[in-house]
Amino acid sequence: MTTRSVAVVTGGASGIGAATARLFSSRGYAIAILDLNRERGEKLAADLTTGNGVARFYSCDVADAGAVDAAAARVEADLGPADVLVTSAGLIPNSESIMDMDMEAHDRMWQVNYNGTIHACRAFGRQMIARKRGAIVTLGSINSRLPLPLPAYNPGKVAIARLTQLLAVELGRHGIRVNSVGPTYVMTETLQSRVDAGLRDLKKIMSVHALDTLPSPEDIALAIGFLCSAEARTITGILLPVDSGWLAGVSYKTYAGGVPWKE
């Protein structure tokens, strides 16, 4: 058990979760990485432990409530109770038709993305309730706001935004804040591989943002860091888009009358 504050990051072995683990480590937190990817998770924990850092990897399938409870008990025994929880574990699909989709894959996506968020919020939220403090950030998306052809993922992200509000009210009585971040396309290795495979059109992506730069995983981590900080002490139940102006731009830039400047 350390005297440091403890940040738990599900899906912390790669992408946004890994950037978040690095950020909280740089701010002096002890880090618990919960992920299925042992190789990457252990490597990151070892990286964060060089110098003055404290970090541990816990192999855990967030879809399995019992596994998350067991991991939470081990984190508490090893590092102490959670001060921060970031639920970044998730599966990211490609476009598909509701008529043709594989229902097993659909159910698995709900179990990981939505139920996995609930499992982690319950297991670590209980540790926070006991101490009457804590901050939770769930991973929403631009999908939390508008329809995109990702039949399990898209409504799942809407549900996570609503769940975040429910938890904010339920846990607010205990001094715990619960917020969500809503990234647009973030160029993680996972997304880059989809672009390389022709499953995402980068030109199309860039044409509907207000800005000409996409957020990096570190940009999302900084927004999460803000939501967990004392500066955000009266912010709870929100979805903070980190979207380079996608929500503003996606209808504006596809207006049938064109944009009022020369392209």
140 neighbors 188 (Cβ within 8 angstroms): no
**Of 169-177, 180-188, 195-203, 230-238, which part binds ligand NAD (CB under 6 A)?**
180-188
Number of Cα atoms under 13 Å in the Cβ half of residue 89? 33
- Residue 241, strand partner residues: 182
How far is it, in rounded angstroms, from Cα 55 to Cα 78? 10
Q: What are phi and psi of 209, to 5 degrees?
A: -100, 150
Q: What is residue 20's three-state secondary structure?
A: helix
Shortest CB 115 distance to ligand NAD, Å:
10
Shortest CB 41 distance to ligand NAD, Å:
7
Nearer to ligand NAD by C-beta: 106 or 174? 106
**Of 5-13, 43-51, 123-131, 164-172, which part binds ligand NAD (CB under 6 A)?**
5-13
90 neighbors 139 (Cβ within 8 angstroms): yes
Q: Which of 15, 53, 80, 249 binds ligand NAD (CB under 6 A)?
A: 15
Nearer to ligand NAD by C-beta: 6 or 239? 239
Percent of the chain that is helix, strand, coil (3-state, to 5): 50, 15, 35
Cβ contacts of residue 83 below 8 Å, gap of 6+? Answer: 5, 6, 7, 29, 128, 133, 134, 135
The pattern of x and - marking residues 185 through 204 that bind ligand NAD according to CB under 6 A reads xx-x-xx-------------
Using rule CB under 6 A, residue 54 touches ligand NAD: no
Using rule CB under 6 A, residue 63 touches ligand NAD: yes
Q: Which of 72, 85, 89, 178 binds ligand NAD (CB under 6 A)?
A: 89
Nearer to ligand NAD by C-beta: 62 or 208? 62
The pattern of x and - marking residues 133 through 172 that bind ligand NAD according to CB under 6 A reads ------x-x-------------------------------
First and final CA of the chain: distance in angstroms? Answer: 58
Using rule CB under 6 A, residue 91 touches ligand NAD: yes
4 neighbors 54 (Cβ within 8 angstroms): yes
Q: Which of 182, 236, 191 is nearest to 92 (CA)?
A: 191
Q: Which of 56, 72, 151 is nearest to 113 (CA)?
A: 151
Using rule CB under 6 A, residue 241 touches ligand NAD: no
Which pair of structure tokens corresponds to residue 221? 């981590």
Q: Is 58 a catalytic residue?
A: no
Residue that the structure tokens 């396309």 belong to: 185
Report the amino acid identity of residue 99: M
Shortest CB 244 distance to ligand NAD, Å:
11
Residue nearest to ligand NAD (CB): 15
Which pair of structure tokens corresponds to residue 14? 């790669």
Instruction: Indicate which residue of 29, 114, 153, 185 is catalytic.
Output: 153
Where along the sequence are the contacts to ligand NAD (CB under 6 A)?
Answer: 10-11, 13-17, 35-37, 60-63, 88-92, 112, 116, 139, 141, 183, 185-186, 188, 190-191
Active site residues: 153
